[in-house]
Chains A and B, each alone.
Chain A
Amino acid sequence: MRPILLKGHERPLTQLKYNKEGDLLFTTARDKVVNVYYSHNGERLGTYVGHQGALWDVEVDPTSTILITGAADNSIKLWEVRTGRCIHTWDFPTAVKVVKLNEDANMLLAVTEERMGNLGTLYVFPFVIDTSAKHAEEPIIKIVSPDSKFTKAGWSYLNKYIIAGHADGSVSQYDGKTGEFLKNVAVHDKEITDLQFAPDRTYFITASKDKTARILDTKNLKIMKTYVADAPLNTAAITPKKDYVILGGGQEARDVTTTGSRQGKFEARFYHKIFEDEIGRLKGHFGPLNHIAVHPDGTGFASGGEDGYVRLHHFDKSYFDFLYDVERIRPE
């Protein structure tokens, strides 16, 4: 399982995104550019240049036509994937932390940062997969954050709900058509740092600074599983094909110096999704793991670190062969 090291960024990685087929990997960092690589060999295809600040999130439509980025220059940009041309910009009062498409790619969700008298806000814009279309300037839904700001958000199956994670560790559910508030549940003791859905969007995993990750049922927000780690987590991903989850994080630089801890705990950790046990760790990064994305076919994953590197992994046979005895005895 020797990884390919991608050195296309000069600052800490923030987000990684495979396209639907999994042949392309888009990466964003604090250095204002987006890179795109062939996922099988790590060869860089191109760069999207135009943002004036750190990039916080990246999304691509299921036909790999339009790329969407959210950045600290208070804007969302749409790019033509094939040419790198910027085709639209939406401006906001503060930084854009989250950009997420729904499963039909006809609605775009965005979360902006709380700063200087501006409350964090969740927006929904209509979206079309057409590089020459005129995009609507005004949102169809606008939700101002409650007391605890939004940190992450995403769409459920059938666009029924918008799910949002908060700085206080709670998770909210809103009506996906109207934006009406439905419920809020306490899930973590500290900030939610990542929220990734299963392929059918009926459940999702949250990662938190409280050193745990949890799986929740999208429909009723019931906590189904809990994974306990030994360091603050920045990211958690669900693997298709195998019943695993991959967690990443690590001691933050300022804590390492104050505690004198030599162990940064920067490994990617594999847990069994159903049994909640840790089953393996993968070393590599020299700083905290900021994001993990799993290949849509479950054949590999990519991790982005505070150290500025992306590590691109292809799973080997032992990964696919591993089974608990009870799984062997009772195949699905």
Chain B
Amino acid sequence: EDLAEESQASKELIAQRVRLLEEWRAWRRAVVSELEAERGGVLPLELRDSEKEDEVIE
């Protein structure tokens, strides 16, 4: 009986973690795609790759 209870609890914990993971990823996807649209392909200075910048100058 104890074992059954334990396995039930662990199932619930796993289900909760799956839910948290999916909620977080869904939120991040929504935020990132909205931000990409707002940025219109222009990255701010602090997120630009320094090496790529050199290529542009060339």
Binding site for B on A (CB under 8 A): 20-21, 62-63, 102-105, 157-158, 199-200, 202-203, 217, 219, 224, 274-275, 324-327, 330, 332
Chain B proximity of A226: nearest CB distance (Å): 12
| Known A275-B17, A325-B14; contact A158-B38, beta-carbon cutoff 8 A | yes
Distance A202 CA – B20 CA, assembled complex (angstroms): 19
**CB-based contact B45/A327 at 8 Å:** no
Q: List chain B residues, Cβ under 8 A from A219.
A: 31
CA separation between A20 and B43, bound complex, in Å?
14
Judge whether A62 and B45 touch: CB under 8 Å: yes
Q: Closest approach, in angstroms, between the C-beta of A65 and any C-beta of chain B? A: 11
User: Is B21 in the interface zone, CB < 8 Å from A?
Assistant: yes
CB distance B18 to A105 under 8 Å?
no
Q: Hey, which chain B residues are within 8 Å of A104, CB to CB?
A: 44-46
| Shortest Cβ distance from residue A295 to the other chain B in the assembled complex, whole angstroms | 15
- Chain B 1-30 interface 0/1 with A at a Cβ cutoff of 8 Å (1 = within): 000000000000010011011101101000
> Given the complex of chains A and B, what is the CA–CA distance between A103 and B35 in angstroms?
14
Contacts of B50 in A (CB 8 A): 20-21
Chain A residue with minimal CB distance to B29?
A: A332
B45 and A105 form a contact (CB under 8 A) = yes
With known contacts A158-B38, A224-B27, A103–B46 Cβ distance under 8 A: yes
Judge if B47 is at the interface, Cβ distance under 8 Å: yes
B47 touches A274 (CB 8 A): no
User: Given A104-B46, A157-B38, A332-B25, 8 other A-B contacts at CB below 8 A?
Assistant: A103-B46, A105-B45, A158-B39, A202-B31, A217-B31, A224-B24, A275-B20, A330-B21
B49 to chain A, nearest CB (A): 10
Residues of B within 8 A of A326 (CB): 14, 17-18, 21
Taking a contact as CB atoms under 8 Å apart, the answer to whether A103 and B44 are in contact is yes
Identity of the chain B residue whose Cβ is nearest the Cβ of A224 in the assembled complex: B27
Bound together, the chains give a CA A219 to CA B21 distance in angstroms of 21
CA distance A330 to B20 in the complex (A): 12
What separation, in Å, do the CA atoms of A217 and B46 have in the docked complex?
Answer: 20
B19 → chain A closest CB, angstroms: 10
Question: For A327, what are the chain B residues with a Cβ–Cβ distance below 8 Å?
Answer: 21
Chain B residues lying within 8 Å of A224, measured Cβ to Cβ, are 24, 27
Residue on A nearest B31 in the bound complex, by CB: A202
